[in-house]
Amino acid sequence: MKTRAALAYRTGEEWSLDKQLWTIEELEISKLEPDDVLVRIPFSGICHTDLHMITGHLTPAMLPMIGGHEGAGIVEDVGSDVTHVRPGDHVVLSIVPACGVCRYCLMGRSSICDYSTKVLHGRHPDGGTRYRTSTGAEAGQWALLGTFTEYVVVNRNAAIKMHPEIPFDRAALVGCAVTTGFGAAVEKAQVHAGDVVVVWGCGGVGLSAVQGAAVAGAAQVIAIDRFDLKLDKARELGATMLIHADRDRSPNPNRDEVAERVMEHTSWVGADSVILCVDYVTPELVGAAFAAVRKGGRVVVVGSSHESFRSIDVSPLELAMYEKELVGCVYGGGRPGLDLPRNLDLYRRGRLKLDEMITGRYSLEQINEAFDDLVGGRLVKGIIEF
């Protein structure tokens, strides 16, 4: 069986539309293994994390690699050991195929299942690949998915059955961005009614964190970004105050100027929580978020970073004496098998807005243009249509 796909052949590249760093070609799909599920993908979401594979901020373990990790579709075929879904079922795809039996799954923390550490490998849990190029070379799957293709082969634990009335393009967003950001607010930041919450970075993940904070009852949601398009969308989705990271700065030689703006707005108390959703987290940004949170408050680091960063710029004295908390967050910090269906149900009941997040649609052949729009701040959440 053959499928068209967008692949990355190089990493460590500075983004440029002229380079056409995503390559479209036809791949051969191998015979399904017992734990495999073959899914036809009508739509795939576009996420900044896919770009990190090309730039080298997240280094793939193999190349070429099929990009994409936000998808939903229709089951076409299943391996011999798959019983929870069958051909014709509608499924949303999880970037963590939680095993259910490792230490973390048994603790109820399946977002950090042992398989979560293998998302950069490109290979299935059995160590094999399911795609080959026209030259016979193996092609990996980003985040154990690779949704920039018409037909995707996933591990059975990555295919989560969903209600057939939910549109596939909306469901695709729940596969990563929405679940990550919403969970960062309700699970990791533990937003309470009346809280002041800062969401720093308003892409797909950040906008979902804005919505999570609003749903949890935050009194104020302060959105920070460099692009007006994203700030306007944040206001539409529940933000009560907008800070443009380049224009709305309050000079202070001893504190980040954006953090200073947050402190001014909160009468020098600080936010109850700061959710750091920028696409690329630096040590300095962690320090800025830490400076903007109150005593006893919590900073949640969501965005990806580079493995070469070995320290962060925070005050140990404030960490201890002010009882500030600094926590990481992978995939919303919850349980994908429960959280993805929950988030889809929130959408069906009108509590979670997904339609409003989509600001661009592209064909597979336009994928390089789509990422150029993402880099240029002209896209909030994009969809590839097959």
| Closest residue by Cα to residue 66 from 158, 135, 139, 151 | 139
Query: 39, 152 in Cβ contact below 8 A?
Result: yes
Helix (H) or strand (E) holding 72: strand 71-78
Query: 329, 183 in Cβ contact below 8 A?
Result: yes
Query: 370, 347 in Cβ contact below 8 A?
Result: no
| Closest residue by Cα to residue 380 from 362, 350, 360 | 360
pLDDT tens string, the chain, 386 residues long: the values are 999 999 999 999 999 999 999 999 999 999 999 999 999 999 999 999 999 999 988 888 899 999 999 999 999 999 999 999 999 999 999 999 999 999 999 999 999 998 887 778 899 988 999 999 999 999 999 998 999 999 999 999 999 999 999 999 999 999 999 999 999 999 999 999 999 999 999 999 999 999 999 999 999 999 999 999 999 999 999 999 999 999 988 887 777 899 999 999 999 999 999 999 998 899 999 999 999 999 999 999 998 877 778 888 888 989 999 999 999 999 999 899 999 999 999 999 999 999 999 999 999 999 999 999 999 999 999 999 99
Q: What are the chain's domains?
A: 2-175+354-385 (3.90.180.10), 181-330 (3.40.50.720)
CA distance 222 to 241: 5
Peptide bond into 64 cis (omega under 30): yes
Structural tokens at position 229 = 């398009």
